[in-house]
Amino acid sequence: MKLSKNRGYVTLMTAQVISSLGDWLSIVAIITLVGLKWEATPMQVSLVFLCLALPMALLGPAAGTVADRMNRKLLMMMSDLVRAGLFLVLAFAETLWLVYLCLFTIGAFSAVFVPAKNGKLKELVAPEHMKSAMSVTSMIDSSTKVMGPLLSGLLVAAFGAKIVFFIDSASFFLSAIFIFLLPKSLETLNEEQGEEGHRFTFKHEFLTGLSFIQRDSFIVMGLAFLGVSLLILQLADSQIIILIRDLSTASPDLFGYIVTASGLGMFLAGWRLAKKTDYRAFPNMLAGVSGLGISFAMMGVCTYFDVAFSILWGPLFGLTGGFAASHIFVPFQATVQVETPVHMTGRVFGVINSVMTIATIIGPLLGGWLASQFGAVPTFIVTASILVLISFTGYLAKNKVERGRVHGTESQPGTPGATTS
């Protein structure tokens, strides 16, 4: 069955579009509320992002285990409905501490939603279509990342932050409705149940998931490449505005153009990988790491020499950087999705989500420190060189990594054990 004919998959992707747009809609509204209306300090604004990211970083592996033990459809609906309610609370919040509490809880339920969604995707999509499905997921993420803040900014300017929180709440409620409409699956016996049908303990299942990851060199190495690349990507992204400030002539809108071009590059890469699914994951990841490094290096070099027409080369390298980044993330996650048994998908993607979130927390902080100590241009060039060096090191280890892919034959399509959807 083609993906476009798979009703469950289309319904799940519709829910993802709505909830992802809701995620990004809230960012501008929250910053407007905290930073402008309440005149919060830079540290207080930073805590906004930390409250969203920290629970996802800390709870990822445990949340993934929960997603493997429980009804994934129910978990996703509960997560959306709770977040919908919390955004309503934010609309009437009067203190920073209430905002922090709501955002931390939203982050915690997002930590459950992500592995549950990936597990549900494994249930609904046949292995031969999984790479295309993950590419489409990436296209949705990159599109909403660009459109969400833009739309939110327009709405905040026109109607104020409160109305955006109402719209955000409605988006999560609508997403929950679409998840409710997902087709049911047959209940099957969990592969991790004991001989008498009793489940193993939460601790046992948690450790089994970690053991599964440790035994597969592709997942271990790929996760290392993913984490380091995302850390440097976030490091550079957070300092682009500082980098272009060193240019003698730069459009005030240059930063926005670079970010938009980066999102477009990620979208185009997702579209390419959705069409061409017979790729080898690890070589694509190595090319992506190298391409990302070269893009950042060229930004640094062009800024150092104060090259004219930054309105052209800035977005161009943003485009190539986004295109390269997707060739790291999409092949890795698609291959892991294909090769991971359905009853372990939540745990594996819980760990992946945790690593990615930790990188997004550390990256901007490290970038700020490096740029303040050594300057933006050296920071870009040095970190870009590290990416190229990492890519070369990965090439030397390529054969060993690909020989270590031992789980591909274990992956089975279908439903998770002891759950209905």
Output the pLDDT for position 242: 84
Residue with tokens 């509960």: 78
What separation in angstroms does the CA of 226 have from each of 152, 231, 332?
29, 8, 8
Q: Given pLDDT bands bounded at 50, 70 and 90, which one contains residue 265?
A: very high
Q: Regarding predicted confidence, which is higher, 269 or 145? A: 269
Query: Is residue 204 one of the residues assigned to a domain?
Result: no
The count of domains in the chain is 2
Q: Regarding predicted confidence, which is higher, 114 or 24? A: 114
**Are the CB atoms for 202 and 69 separated by under 8 Å?**
yes
**Are the CB atoms for 230 and 387 separated by under 8 Å?**
no
Q: Are residues 121 and 219 in the same domain?
A: no
Compute the chain's Rg from CA coordinates. 21
What distance separates the 2 farthest-apart alpha carbons in the chain? 73
Alpha carbon distance 92, 312 (integer Å): 43
Q: Are residues 147 and 251 in the same domain?
A: no
Query: Is residue 192 one of the residues assigned to a domain?
Result: no
What separation in angstroms does the CA of 253 have from each of 68, 256, 264, 341?
45, 5, 17, 46
Q: Are residues 359 and 238 in the same domain?
A: yes
Q: Are residues 247 and 147 in the same domain?
A: no
Output the pLDDT for position 416: 40
CA-based torsion, 264, 302, 229, 22: positive or negative: negative
Instruction: List pLDDT tens digits, range 87-109.
Output: 999 989 888 899 999 999 999 99
Query: Is residue 250 one of the residues assigned to a domain?
Result: yes
Q: What is the mean pLDDT of residues 204-233?
A: 85
Query: Cα 225 vs. chain centroid, distance in angstroms?
Result: 15
Residue by residue, DSSP assigns 78-143 as HHHHHHHHHHHHHHT--SHHHHHHHHHHHHHHHHHHHHHHHHHHHHHS-GGGHHHHHHHHHHHHHH
**Can you give the CATH number for the domain in which 214 is found?**
1.20.1250.20
How many helices (H) does the chain have, and how many strands (E)?
14, 0
Q: Are residues 137 and 266 in the same domain?
A: no
pTM of the model: 0.81
Tokens of 404: 């270590």
Q: Are residues 129 and 276 in the same domain?
A: no
- Choice among 163-167, 274-278, 332-336 with the minimum mean pLDDT: 274-278
Q: What is the mean pLDDT of the chain?
A: 83
Q: Are residues 147 and 7 in the same domain?
A: yes
In eight-state DSSP terms, residue 408 is: G
- Percentage of residues in the chain with pLDDT exceeding 70? 90
Q: Are residues 268 and 395 in the same domain?
A: yes
Instruction: List pLDDT tens digits, range 27-71.
Output: 778 877 787 677 777 677 778 888 888 998 888 888 888 888 888
Q: Given pLDDT bands bounded at 50, 70 and 90, which one contains residue 23?
A: confident
**Are the CB atoms for 319 and 267 separated by under 8 Å?**
no
Helix axes of 7-31 and 42-69: crossing angle, nearest 10 degrees? 160
Q: Given pLDDT bands bounded at 50, 70 and 90, which one contains residue 405?
A: low
Beta bridge partners of 188: 417
Query: Is residue 280 one of the residues assigned to a domain?
Result: yes
Instruction: List pLDDT tens digits, range 5-22.
Output: 888 989 999 998 888 888
Q: Are residues 72 and 167 in the same domain?
A: yes
Dihedral pair phi/psi, residue 57, rounded to 5° = -70, -40
User: With 60 as the cut, is the pLDDT of residue 220 above it?
Assistant: yes
Q: Are residues 215 and 331 in the same domain?
A: yes
Nearest to 255 by CA among 202, 185, 310, 325: 310
Q: What is the mean pLDDT of residues 186-212?
A: 59
**Structural domain that includes position 246:** 209-405
Q: Are residues 75 and 215 in the same domain?
A: no
Q: Regarding predicted confidence, which is higher, 408 or 129? A: 129
Output the pLDDT for position 328: 92
- Choice among 118-122, 197-201, 209-213, 248-252 with the minimum mean pLDDT: 197-201
Output the pLDDT for position 199: 55
Q: Are residues 162 and 245 in the same domain?
A: no
Query: Cα 74 vs. chain centroid, distance in angstroms?
Result: 22
Beta bridge partners of 417: 188
User: With 90 as the cut, is the pLDDT of residue 288 above it?
Assistant: yes
